[in-house]
């Protein structure tokens, strides 16, 4: 893979270059769903084919958009609930489905209201 | 009584305009003033109030879907040629894919593995749709910073252009004029002699086809974009 000047760590025998900060044109945020390692892994797998095809800023933006889709699209949110692996509660109860996140809790409360 | 119901729907519609506008503004990284989005949404609300059929969908879900589409569509026309245009086009493609997926009957699944596969397909499809949308427009020079990135973008754009060229005639014409020409769906539909709703269906179908082409390397002559 071709090296990108200014962004990769120096290898043996090369002069270390200082990472050049990218222009902060767009405000950056990390979607709350990306804090969940399992969800982040699914999203990373989806954007993986584009990692060396699109600029890093656009790949990062795509990650945010996929998280937003999982949070906002009803069908996607329900599929996520079903697909999230079984986990064991502290009580020992085994449960299938996504952990309750701030977003899913907000969605449920919105629907109930 | 009827006037009260109409007033209530208008009030509800204005709230939906605000919600959808805020969501789109957030997705675009704060690059578009919220008031601009609300302005587009308020104009579209007139049609939404007129067209809503209570026997087919709740007002909230109908208005949300229509306003989201109208705001992104209006934004795409207004930002044509501007640096934010690629992200607007990407959101449009992703929204179209979501609509196409919602129309397809979801098969009930028996196992968590099947649900996980379905989730991977859904995310992969949206990632491809976003990539297609991004690559139909010139890159933002502040995002594409190095010559290497510019070359990668050009290669990806070439693949997407090839995939669009391989679409059936009407879908190809619609996609080229809509994404590359910045024309509105309504005027394209008029020229093609089809209704706007049929043009919308063609658009969804084309996005679905393109995402599959990008994911599956269906444009193998140029090399599959998804090959990494």
pLDDT tens for B70-85 read 998 888 878 766 778 8
Residue from B79, B122, B217 whose CB has the most chain A CBs within 10 Å, to mutate: B122
The helix or strand, by DSSP H or E, that contains position B104, with its residue range, turns out to be none
pLDDT band at A93 (very low <50, low <70, confident <90, very high): low
Q: Cα–Cα distances in Å, from A46 out to A39, B71, B72, B164? A: 11, 27, 24, 22
β-pairing verdict for A87-88 and A94-95? antiparallel
User: Do the chains contact at B118 and A83, CB–CB below 8 Å?
Assistant: yes
Of A59-68, A103-112, B100-109, which has the strongest mean pLDDT?
A59-68
In angstroms, the CA A52 to CA B143 distance is: 14
| pLDDT value, residue B67 | 94
Q: Which of B113, B132, B108, B109 is nearest to B204 (CA)?
A: B132
CB B119 within 8 A of CB A42: yes
Burial of A92 (0-12, 13-18, 19+ CB in 10 A): exposed
Q: ipTM of the predicted structure?
A: 0.81
Coil vs helix vs strand at B48: helix
Residue A64: closest C-alpha in chain B = B27
User: Do the chains contact at B29 and A61, CB–CB below 8 Å?
Assistant: yes
Q: Does position B226 have pLDDT exceeding 60, yes or no?
A: no
For chain B, helix (H) and strand (E) counts, in that order, are 9, 0
Q: Which of A87, A109, A111, A110 is nearest to A98 (CA)?
A: A87
| pLDDT value, residue B182 | 81
Of A23, A42, A85, the CB nearest to B123: A42
User: Token digits for B94?
Assistant: 């992703």
Report chain B's mean pLDDT, rounded to a whole number: 85
DSSP A52: T
In angstroms, the CA B97 to CA B212 distance is: 11
């Amino acid at each position: 893979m071709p090296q990108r000047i200014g962004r990769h760590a120096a290898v043996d025998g090369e002069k270390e270059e200082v990472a050049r900060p990218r222009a902060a044109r767009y405000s950056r945020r990390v979607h709350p769903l990306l804090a969940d390692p399992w969800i982040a892994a699914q999203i990373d797998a989806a954007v993986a084919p584009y990692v060396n095809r699109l600029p890093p800023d656009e790949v990062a933006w795509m990650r945010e958009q996929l998280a937003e889709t999982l949070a906002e699209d009803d069908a996607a949110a329900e599929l996520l609930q079903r697909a999230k692996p079984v986990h064991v509660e502290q009580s020992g109860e085994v449960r299938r489905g996504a952990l309750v996140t701030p977003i899913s809790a907000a969605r449920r409360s919105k629907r109930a209201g | 009584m009827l006037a009260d119901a109409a007033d209530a729907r208008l009030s509800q519609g204005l709230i939906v305009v605000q919600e959808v506008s805020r969501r789109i503004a957030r997705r675009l990284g704060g690059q578009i003033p919220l008031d601009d989005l609300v302005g587009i949404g308020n104009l579209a609300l007139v049609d939404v109030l007129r067209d809503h059929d209570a026997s087919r969908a709740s007002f909230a879900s109908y208005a949300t879907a229509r306003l989201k589409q109208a705001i992104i569509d209006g934004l795409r026309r207004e930002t044509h040629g501007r640096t934010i245009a690629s992200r607007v086009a990407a959101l449009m493609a992703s929204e179209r894919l979501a609509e196409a997926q919602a129309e397809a009957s979801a098969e009930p699944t028996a196992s968590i593995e099947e649900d996980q596969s379905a989730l991977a397909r859904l995310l992969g499809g949206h990632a491809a749709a976003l990539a297609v949308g991004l690559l139909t427009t010139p890159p933002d020079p502040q995002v594409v910073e190095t010559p290497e990135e510019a070359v990668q973008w050009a290669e990806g754009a070439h693949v997407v252009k090839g995939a669009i060229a391989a679409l059936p005639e009407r879908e190809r014409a619609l996609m080229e004029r809509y994404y590359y020409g910045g024309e509105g769906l309504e005027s394209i539909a008029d020229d093609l002699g089809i209704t706007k709703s049929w043009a919308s269906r063609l658009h969804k179908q084309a996005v679905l086809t393109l995402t599959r082409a990008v994911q599956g390397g269906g444009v193998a002559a140029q090399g599959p974009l998804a090959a990494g």
